[in-house]
Amino acid sequence: MSPSTARAEASHTTATSSLTTTPNAQPSETPLLSARFLSRSYGAFQALKGISFDMRPGEIISVLGPSGCGKSTLLQLVAGLLQPDGGELLLNGALIGSSRTMLPPEKRNVNMVFQDYALWPHLSVYDNIAYGLRRKRMARGDIDRTVGELLELLRLAGLEKRLPPELSGGQQQRVAIARALATRPQLLLLDEPLSNLDMRLRVEMRTEMAELFRKLGTSVFHVTHDPEEAFSMADRLLIMRAGQIDQIGTPEECYNRPASRWVCSLLGGINSLKGKPVVLPDGATGLLLPENDRPIRGLFPRGAGMPEEPRAELMFRPEDAALLDLEGTDALKSRPNGLPVTVSNSIFEGKHWRCRIQSDCGQKMYLLHEGPVEPGSRKWLAVPEVSAHMYAEAE
C-alpha cells in the first residue's frame, strides 16, 4: 500500500447515519478529549513533555506553534498513529492511549484531513466521499442522501463525477473535508489543512470551515503554524513550545494577555524594551529605561507579580503603538505612555509604512505608520498600557 493510499484509508474510520445539521454541542461534565501528562519521545528527543488539557464536546481547538514544537506528534497520538511513552489519552472518558494501551485508529471514531488531502486519485468526487460509508455497508439510498447533503453543504454540487486531479486546490480540500465528515466522527482532526492553498483561498476557506463546523456542531482538533488561521477558526488556542503547553485560552485572551514572552513574540510582539521593573504610586507596574525618567506602564501576565529579577522586558506589536510629533521637552509631560525615539528609515508596504526606530540607548523597534517619515526624525513613541506586555527578562 502506498503512503497516499494509507493516508486515504486513515481518513475513514466509522460510518453511522446520514448527515444532519445541529447547533454547536453544549459543554458536558465529561470532556470529549483529555490528555493527562502525555509524553512521547523519538530516541533521545522528547517531542512531548507530559502535557495535560481537556477539550469540550462541540469545541474547536487550534494547536498553534512552530515546526518541532510537538503539535504534529500530539495530533498523531490522538489519531492513533502513534502510541504514548507515558501519560494517558482519553476519549469521552475512555482510555484510548497509554504506554500499555493502544486503541486502533479504526475503533476511535476519529477522522483526519491531511495536509495533502490524501484523496483517492482514481475515484470520483462522489466515490471519495462515499468510500467510508460503503466500507460500513450503509444502504445505497442513505449513501446517496449523505453524499448529496455534503456536496451541497461544501459547494461541490455538479463536480461529483470529476476526479481529484481535475479539481482546484480549494475544491480538493472541500472533498477531503466532506469525506471526513461523511461518517459523522466524534472528533475531526485537521493537519495544516490550508498550507497548500494560496493566500486569498486560505482566507476564504478558513472562514468557510469555521462556519461549517459550528453549524454542524463538529468537534475539531486543528493543527497549524499560522496564528491568523488559528484565530479565525478556534474557540480556544493551545499554544505549544518545545513539547510543552505555554498557554490555553480563547484567541482574545491569548492575544490580549500573552502568558509568556514566547507567546507574545509568536503573536506578533516583536518589539522589545529592557529596563528596570517598578511599581508606580497607584499600584500599577512599569518599566524604567536608562534614558527615560518616566516609566512606561505595562502589564505582567495574569497571576504573575513583580519579578525578583532586577530587570524586565516590555514587548509590544508594531500595529499597537503610534509615532507622534515631538515639539519640545515640556511637551513630554502631557504625552501618552512612551518615550522619545529616532527614526532610522521607513518602507512602503501598501496599506502602511513600516518604520524602523531606535531608542536613545540603542534599542531597535518597528512601527506601522500611515505615511513616510524622514530618516533621522525625532518622534515620540506612544505605547498604550494595555498593549505593553511585561515579563521577567530571565524568562
Binned at pLDDT 50, 70 and 90, residue 293 comes out as: confident
**Residue whose C-alpha cell reads 504573575 in the numeric block:** 304
CA distance 70 to 119: 26
Query: pLDDT per residue over 338-388, tens digit each?
Result: 898 999 999 999 999 999 999 988 899 999 999 999 999 999 999 999 999
Read off the DSSP letter of residue 386.
Answer: G
Residue by residue, DSSP assigns 256-301 as HS-SSHHHHHHTT--EEEEEEEEE-TTS-EEEE-TT-SSPEEEBPP
Separation of alpha carbons 179 and 176, rounded Å: 5
Spatial separation of the C-alpha atoms in residues 204 and 6, rounded to whole Å: 29
CB 123 within 8 A of CB 11: no
Rounded distance between C-alpha atoms, residue 390 and residue 299, angstroms: 5
Q: Are 227 and 266 in contact (CB under 8 A)?
A: yes
- Its pTM stands at 0.85
What cell was used for 26? 453544549
Integer Cα distance of 127 and 160 in angstroms:
8
160, amino acid identity:
E
| CA-wise closest residue to 322 among 339, 301, 300 | 339
Give 310-345 pLDDT, tens digit per residue: 889 999 999 999 999 876 555 555 667 989 899 999
| Amino acid letter for position 240 | M
